């Protein structure tokens, strides 16, 4: 097995000495296998550039261990740093092209740094690489005659022309509009995939997170997973979801809230969920999905309690079927799938109308198959459609068995609908995530 191009253990870094000493990185552990694209996010001053310059052998490491391309960089000699540096391509926020040189000459310079080619070969490699980044027509332009996006393409060509084992990029899209930014990262991704290049990329730009195999987050010089960062940025939602290690804790916590508290929580969560659907859906994070799932379960259950129902469940509409995704003991049940049009939930999905049923076994729409599978005896039902932004029914929520054995009434329906509007948003982000990560259990055709 080959060594991972980046293997960082317990890495720390401080600037300054004595009273001015300032610790900016602490206890960083990070291994990046060959060909993987890792994105580093984090607030300004959290140490991202410092981490990148350490990994790029641009400064020497002081604490912990930092192995890059097979060499230990902790307390490394200058010659070692230089040797490693030559095998790395760098892309910075500002393209850092030399203004006096043409695009072609800038890229040739990149080839020269890697030290692999003779002059003629360097020129051929530079021409080819500029062609690959779509700059074949601009070989002889100087940077000031190019747009920001074009300069960044030249910078990418320069970084990649020496066929580096690794590419380090610091905010490569920061000076670009979203369209050129997208093109630039797609290009980096494609070239990296073709060459098997490892990429470590720092960005604030949520729109490009999807190119990453993995996202890590720096907060005050410490590394977190993407899930932890979403938690950090969505205090309210994520505090709630993260405080608790398992479903039972989550239940207990949500249970302790009064109705106003619960309502506030849901409002806050749905607002934050709205904001983060974009970033997280792109990120496709399994751990986050599982947090969300725990949250959905707890909220649904809490809702059932507040509405004096014995149970609540959520079905996700997938084509012409409904999949049960939130229910008591779902983990043990395995997959429960019903057809749209079958059963009460299926009827809600088909008609888009809420349904109240006083006695399930007297209602011909009721499908006892789910009861058989779950071992539960349904009496009364209140079922509501959940709509996405386009008004399309993508899920069905159900309350089962009012505890006083009365049927659910219009007031129950109104309250349930009020809460479901909030849960719907969370649910939608959950759906986006499961689509993306494919975490659905079991397979159906």
- Beta strands 381-387; 355-357: pairing state: antiparallel
Indicate which of ligand ATP, Mg ion, none lies near residue 42 (CB less than 5 to 8 Å, by partner kind). Answer: ligand ATP
Select 184 or 426, whichever has its Cβ closest to Mg ion: 184
Count of residues interacting with ligand ATP (CB under 6 A): 11
**Among 40-48, 238-246, 317-325, 384-392, which window interacts with ligand ATP (CB under 6 A)?**
40-48
Indicate whether 203 belongs to the interface with Mg ion (CB under 5 A): no
Indicate whether 46 belongs to the interface with ligand ATP (CB under 6 A): yes
Task: Report the residue from 49, 102, 198, 224 that binds Mg ion according to the rule CB under 5 A.
Answer: 49
How many Å from the N-terminal Cα to the C-terminal Cα in the chain? 38
Burial class (CB in 10 A: 0-12, 13-18, 19+), 32: buried
Indicate whether 44 belongs to the interface with ligand ATP (CB under 6 A): yes
* CB of 424 vs ligand ATP, minimal distance in Å: 35
Select 190 or 204, whichever has its Cβ closest to Mg ion: 204
Q: Give me the residues paired with residue 22 across strands.
A: 15
* CB of 107 vs ligand ATP, minimal distance in Å: 26
Select 167 or 426, whichever has its Cβ closest to ligand ATP: 167
Task: Report the residue from 10, 15, 119, 128 that binds ligand ATP according to the rule CB under 6 A.
Answer: 15
Two tokens, residue 173: 């899209």
Two tokens, residue 19: 């009273």
| Radius of gyration over every alpha carbon of the chain, rounded to an integer in angstroms | 27
80/78 Cα distance (integer angstroms): 5
Task: Report the residue from 41, 50, 132, 401 that binds ligand ATP according to the rule CB under 6 A.
Answer: 50
* CB of 40 vs ligand ATP, minimal distance in Å: 8
Q: Give me the residues paired with residue 317 across strands.
A: 322
* CB of 214 vs ligand ATP, minimal distance in Å: 18
CA 265 to chain centre: 23
* CB of 242 vs ligand ATP, minimal distance in Å: 24
Indicate whether 48 belongs to the interface with ligand ATP (CB under 6 A): yes
256/25 Cα distance (integer angstroms): 39
CA 45 to chain centre: 22
Task: Report the residue from 10, 45, 196, 352 that binds ligand ATP according to the rule CB under 6 A.
Answer: 45
Closest residue by Cα to residue 65 from 30, 94, 95, 32 = 30
288-327 positions binding Mg ion, by CB under 5 A: none
CA 289 to chain centre: 10
Sheet containing 71-72, strands listed edge to edge, beginning at the edge strand earlier in sequence: 22-32, 6-15, 63-68, 71-72
Q: What is residue 356's three-state secondary structure?
A: strand
* Angle, alpha carbons 128-130-136 (nearest 5°): 95
Select 49 or 289, whichever has its Cβ closest to Mg ion: 49
**Among 42-50, 181-189, 245-253, 385-393, which window interacts with ligand ATP (CB under 6 A)?**
42-50
Q: What are phi and psi of 210, to 5 degrees?
A: -70, -15
- The dihedral sign for the CA sequence 399, 402, 405, 407: negative
**Among 49-57, 248-256, 297-305, 374-382, which window interacts with Mg ion (CB under 5 A)?**
49-57
- Beta strands 321-326; 88-91: pairing state: unpaired
**Among 17-25, 43-51, 193-201, 285-293, which window interacts with Mg ion (CB under 5 A)?**
43-51
**Among 41-49, 125-133, 134-142, 360-368, which window interacts with ligand ATP (CB under 6 A)?**
41-49
Two tokens, residue 61: 């490491």
- Beta strands 166-170; 88-91: pairing state: parallel
Indicate which of ligand ATP, Mg ion, none lies near residue 47 (CB less than 5 to 8 Å, by partner kind). Answer: ligand ATP
* CB of 222 vs ligand ATP, minimal distance in Å: 12
Indicate whether 424 belongs to the interface with ligand ATP (CB under 6 A): no
* CB of 44 vs ligand ATP, minimal distance in Å: 3
Indicate whether 47 belongs to the interface with ligand ATP (CB under 6 A): yes
277/425 Cα distance (integer angstroms): 9
Indicate whether 42 belongs to the interface with ligand ATP (CB under 6 A): yes
Cβ atoms within 10 Å, residue 339: 14
Select 109 or 174, whichever has its Cβ closest to Mg ion: 174
Indicate which of ligand ATP, Mg ion, none lies near residue 24 (CB less than 5 to 8 Å, by partner kind). Answer: ligand ATP
By the criterion CB under 6 A, which residues form the site for ligand ATP?
A: 15-16, 24, 42, 44-50
By the criterion CB under 5 A, which residues form the site for Mg ion?
A: 48-49
């Amino acid at each position: 097995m080959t060594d991972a191009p980046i293997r960082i253990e317990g890495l720390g870094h401080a600037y300054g000495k004595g009273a001015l000493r300032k610790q900016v990185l602490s206890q960083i552990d990070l291994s990046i296998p060959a060909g993987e694209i890792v994105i580093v996010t984090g607030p300004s001053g959290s140490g991202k550039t410092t981490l990148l310059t350490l990994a790029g052998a641009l400064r020497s490491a002081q604490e912990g261990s930092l192995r890059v391309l097979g060499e230990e960089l902790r307390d490394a000699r200058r010659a070692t740093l230089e040797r490693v540096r030559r095998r790395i391509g760098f892309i910075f926020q500002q393209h850092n092209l030399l203004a006096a040189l043409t695009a072609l000459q800038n890229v040739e310079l990149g080839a020269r740094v890697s030290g692999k080619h003779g002059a003629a070969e360097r020129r051929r490699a530079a021409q080819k690489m500029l062609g690959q980044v779509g700059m074949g027509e601009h070989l002889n332009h100087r940077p000031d005659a190019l747009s920001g996006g074009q300069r960044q393409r030249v910078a990418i060509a320069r970084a990649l022309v020496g066929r580096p084992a690794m590419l380090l990029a610091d905010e490569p899209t920061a000076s670009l509009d979203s369209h050129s930014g997208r093109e630039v990262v797609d290009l980096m991704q494609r070239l990296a995939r073709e060459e098997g290049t490892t990429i470590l990329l720092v960005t604030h730009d949520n729109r490009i997170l999807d190119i990453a195999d993995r996202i890590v987050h720096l907060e005050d010089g410490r590394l977190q997973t993407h899930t932890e960062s979403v938690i950090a940025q969505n205090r309210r939602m994520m505090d709630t979801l993260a405080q608790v290690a398992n479903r039972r804790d989550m239940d207990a916590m949500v249970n302790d809230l009064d109705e106003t508290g619960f309502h506030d929580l849901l409002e806050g969560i749905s607002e934050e969920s709205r904001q983060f659907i974009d970033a997280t859906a792109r990120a496709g994070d399994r751990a986050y999905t599982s947090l969300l799932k725990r949250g959905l379960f707890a909220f649904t259950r809490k809702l059932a309690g507040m509405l004096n129902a014995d149970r609540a469940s959520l079905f996700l509409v997938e084509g012409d079927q409904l999949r049960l995704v939130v229910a008591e003991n779902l983990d043990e049940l395995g997959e429960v799938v019903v057809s749209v049009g079958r059963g009460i939930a299926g009827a809600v999905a088909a008609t888009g109308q809420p349904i109240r049923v006083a006695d399930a076994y007297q209602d011909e729409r009721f499908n006892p198959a789910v009861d058989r599978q779950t071992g539960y005896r349904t009496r009364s039902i209140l079922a509501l459609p959940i709509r996405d932004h386009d008004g399309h029914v993508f899920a069905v929520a159900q309350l089962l068995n009012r505890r006083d054995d009365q049927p659910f009434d219009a007031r129950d329906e109104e309250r349930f609908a009020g809460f479901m509007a909030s849960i719907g948003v969370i649910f939608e982000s959950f759906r986006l995530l499961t689509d993306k990560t494919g975490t659905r259990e079991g397979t159906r055709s």
